[in-house]
């Protein structure tokens, strides 16, 4: 299958996406932000369709929308940003806006399907380069902030007591989350990008107990999911997103089962 | 030594306390007592530099590093890190191999000191209340603080476990001349373990003899 240019591109892009999502996902889970990452992907959908409407790339539109909203969330207190009802209200509004932007633009509905559900054929080599640069940027930010971010994410109260600038860390994290949502959506689609951003991290937590191992398992599961998904999508011609989400969900329940088994033994 | 002269704190028009005058000597094991809302935690935040005083003076004889053990922590059953990893969160980032080696030694000593060596691989979410408090204590002690503040750290523990934790703190206090500031609602622990007591009363503070500390001092309006 690597004889096809588009498959090679899709593979490279997915590899970077999986590494970023797996890495960021560990912190999404430990900061209890699964729900927020779901909302950001819906905001990303609105951003992508806005991009199409005004004639910039969907990726640029997504980055614009998710960055602005993540910074807005970061300037609220952490308590209010987790109020689930207000988050649902905002996400409904953005799905509505996304649909509006798409219907106002003259693009065909296949564009909408690609943004929402992802696609393995739509990626050009220029876009692959953009994704790589963004992914490397996210990884770089994580390396710089690794220690304080781990402290704040796994023990917020302790980090504050130790005098860490937790507000700044929170904004830095939200920015990388926004970028991860935007790049992840290019393959998996904005409707299911949160699968990659939450499930591998949540599964890892059931099987290993140190931060580096959590990252390794999460990135590993995320890579396995997209690679297997791409292969199966190529062979069967079924949507890649189906295979990725099925794989991650199965891994999650196996992880949960393992944890419960261990508790009783 | 920590010394306060006429220390006053207001939130806007709301007076929290005024004209606090006290000295805390190195190696003191001192309790801060008083009803809820009397300003104990606000004072601690000022000591730690997390909150600004409104007026008065607060001086430290030398640069005091402070370890803080709060009462509440968001650690649920699913919390993934094991006890050792939780304690390690408070380490500074390093790439140097020799510093890493030092850090490993430091962690080993702290776990030993807090009697957690055998439990170090247990996920913190599955640890008992007393084990959790010990882990919080170990983490707070990591950067070799001169002052340790326990903010109602024993509140949710069984009597026996409380005593164990306090015995441990007492041991550290004596061995390292560690200053301990113990915020509590437990007059029995105050009497048993601490050598001095500062009592928040009528928006200010007075020193009382630990043997005179009574249950009534923790009730509203006292």
> What does each of the 265 residues of chain A score in pLDDT, given as a tens digit?
777 877 888 888 899 999 999 999 999 999 988 888 888 888 998 998 898 888 888 889 999 999 998 888 776 655 555 566 777 778 888 889 988 988 888 766 677 777 777 776 667 788 889 889 999 999 999 999 999 999 999 998 888 888 888 888 988 999 999 999 998 888 788 878 889 999 999 999 999 999 999 999 999 999 999 999 999 988 998 888 899 999 999 999 999 999 999 888 8
Neighboring chain B residues of A156 at a CB cutoff of 8 Å: 74
The count of other CB atoms within 10 Å of the CB of residue A222 is: 34
| Tokens of residue A122, six digits | 């739509």
Residue with tokens 């969907």: A58
Q: End-to-end alpha-carbon separation of chain B, Å?
A: 29
Provide CATH 3.40.50.300 ranges for chain B. Answer: 1-64+146-222
Task: Tell me which residue of B121, B20, B135, B123 sits closest to B78, measured CA to CA.
Answer: B123
What does the buried/exposed string (b/e) look like for A53-85 if buried means 16 or more CB atoms within 10 Å of the residue's CB?
Answer: beeeebbbbbbbbbbebbeebbeeeeeebbeee
Q: Do A147 and B91 touch (CB under 8 A)?
A: yes
β-bridge partners, B123: B82
Q: Do B89 and A210 touch (CB under 8 A)?
A: no
**pLDDT tens readout for residues B65-90:** 888 888 778 788 889 999 999 999 99
What does the buried/exposed string (b/e) look like for A159-188 if buried means 16 or more CB atoms within 10 Å of the residue's CB?
Answer: bbbbebebeebbebbbbbbbbbbbbbbbbb
What are residue B201's phi and psi, to 5 degrees?
A: -145, 135
Q: Do A158 and B136 touch (CB under 8 A)?
A: yes
CA distance B72 to chain A (A): 8
Are B149 and B202 in contact by the 8 Å Cβ rule? The answer is no
Query: Which strands form B2-11's sheet, in the order they lie side by side?
Result: B14-24, B2-11, B55-60
Q: How far apart are CA A161 and CA B73, in angstroms?
A: 11
**pLDDT tens readout for residues A95-109:** 899 889 888 887 666
**What pTM does this model have?**
0.87
User: What does each C-alpha distance from B140 to A155, B32, B75, B137, B148 come to in angstroms?
Assistant: 12, 19, 16, 5, 8
Q: Do A159 and B121 touch (CB under 8 A)?
A: no
CATH number of this structure's domain A5-259, picked from the four choices 3.40.50.720, 1.10.3470.10, 3.90.1150.10, 3.20.20.120: 1.10.3470.10
H helical segments located in B49-118: 83-88, 97-113
Q: How far apart are CA A203 and CA A195, in angstroms?
A: 11
CA distance B170 to chain A (A): 22
Q: From the candidates A26, A209, A211, A256, which should be mutated to test the interface with B, based on the most B CB atoms within 10 A?
A: A209
Q: Give the H or E element holding residue B198.
A: strand B196-201
Closest partner CB to A147 (pick from B80, B92, B136): B92
CA distance A112 to chain B (A): 38
CA distance B211 to chain A (A): 32
Q: How far apart are CA B68 and CA B32, in angstroms?
A: 14
Q: Domain B1-64+146-222 is classified in which CATH homologous superfamily?
A: P-loop containing nucleotide triphosphate hydrolases (3.40.50.300)
Closest partner CB to A158 (pick from B48, B90, B121): B90
Q: Do B80 and A156 touch (CB under 8 A)?
A: no
Q: Do B85 and A209 touch (CB under 8 A)?
A: yes
């Amino acid at each position: 299958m690597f004889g096809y240019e588009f498959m090679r591109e899709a593979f490279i892009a997915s590899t970077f996406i999986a590494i970023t999502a797996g890495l960021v996902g560990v912190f999404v889970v430990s900061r209890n932000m699964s729900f927020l990452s779901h909302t950001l992907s819906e905001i990303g959908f609105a951003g992508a369709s806005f991009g199409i409407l005004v004639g910039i790339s969907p990726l640029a539109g997504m980055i614009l929308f998710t960055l602005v909203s993540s910074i807005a969330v970061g300037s609220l207190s952490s308590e209010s940003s987790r109020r689930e009802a207000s988050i649902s209200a905002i996400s409904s509004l953005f799905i509505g806006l996304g649909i509006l932007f798409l219907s106002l633009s003259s693009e065909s509905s296949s564009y909408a399907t690609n943004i929402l559900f992802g696609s393995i054929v739509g990626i050009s080599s220029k876009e692959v380069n953009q994704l790589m640069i963004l992914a490397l940027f996210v990884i770089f930010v994580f390396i710089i902030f690794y220690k304080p971010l781990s402290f704040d994410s796994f023990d917020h109260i302790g980090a504050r007591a130790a005098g860490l600038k937790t507000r700044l860390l929170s904004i830095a994290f939200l920015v990388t989350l926004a970028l991860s949502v935007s790049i992840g959506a290019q393959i998996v689609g904005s409707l299911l990008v949160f699968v990659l951003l939450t499930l591998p991290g949540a599964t890892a937590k059931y099987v290993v107990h140190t931060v580096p191992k959590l990252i390794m398992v999460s990135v590993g599961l995320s890579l396995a999911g997209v690679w297997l998904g791409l292969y199966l999508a190529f062979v069967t011609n079924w949507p890649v997103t189906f295979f990725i989400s099925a794989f991650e969900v199965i891994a999650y329940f196996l992880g949960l089962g393992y944890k419960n088994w261990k508790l009783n033994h | 030594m920590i010394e306060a002269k006429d220390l006053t704190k207001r939130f806007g028009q709301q007076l929290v306390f005024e004209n606090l005058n006290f000295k805390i000597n190195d190696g003191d094991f001192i309790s801060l007592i008083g009803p809820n809302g009397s300003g104990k935690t606000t004072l601690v935040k000022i000591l730690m530099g997390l909150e600004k005083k409104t007026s008065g003076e607060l001086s430290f004889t030398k640069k005091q590093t402070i370890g803080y053990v709060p009462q509440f922590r968001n650690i649920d059953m699913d919390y993934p890190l094991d006890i050792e990893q939780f304690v390690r969160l408070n380490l500074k980032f390093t790439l140097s191999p020799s510093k890493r080696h030092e850090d490993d030694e430091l962690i080993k000593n702290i776990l030993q000191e807090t009697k957690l060596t055998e439990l170090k691989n247990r996920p913190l979410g599955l640890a008992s209340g007393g084990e959790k408090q010990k882990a919080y204590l170990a983490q707070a002690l990591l950067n070799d603080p001169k002052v340790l503040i326990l903010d109602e750290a024993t509140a949710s523990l069984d009597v026996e476990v409380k005593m164990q934790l306090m015995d441990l703190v007492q041991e550290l206090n004596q061995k390292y001349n560690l200053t301990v500031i113990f915020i509590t609602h437990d007059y029995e622990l105050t009497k048993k373990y601490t050598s001095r007591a500062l009592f928040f009363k009528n928006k200010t503070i007075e020193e009382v003899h630990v043997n005179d500390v009574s249950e009534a001092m923790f009730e509203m309006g006292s």
